[in-house]
Amino acid sequence: MAVTDVADPFDMSLAAISKHLTILTRAGLISQEKRGRVKWCKLEPDAMRNASIWMQSFGQFEAVNLDAFEQFLKQELQD
Site string for DNA, 30-49 (x = CB under 7 A): --x--xxxxxx---------
CA distance 75 to 1: 36
CA distance 40 to 62: 45
Query: Residue from 36, 56, 75, 78 that binds its own copies (CB under 8 A)?
Result: 56
Query: Residue from 51, 75, 78, 79 that binds its own copies (CB under 8 A)?
Result: 51
Judged by CB under 7 A, does residue 14 bind DNA? yes
Q: Is 39 helix (H, G, I), strand (E, B) or coil?
A: strand
| Residue 79 binds which of its own copies, DNA, none (CB < 5-8 A, kind-dependent) | none
Judged by CB under 8 A, does residue 78 bind its own copies? no
Helix (H) or strand (E) holding 28: none
Helix (H) or strand (E) holding 38: strand 38-43
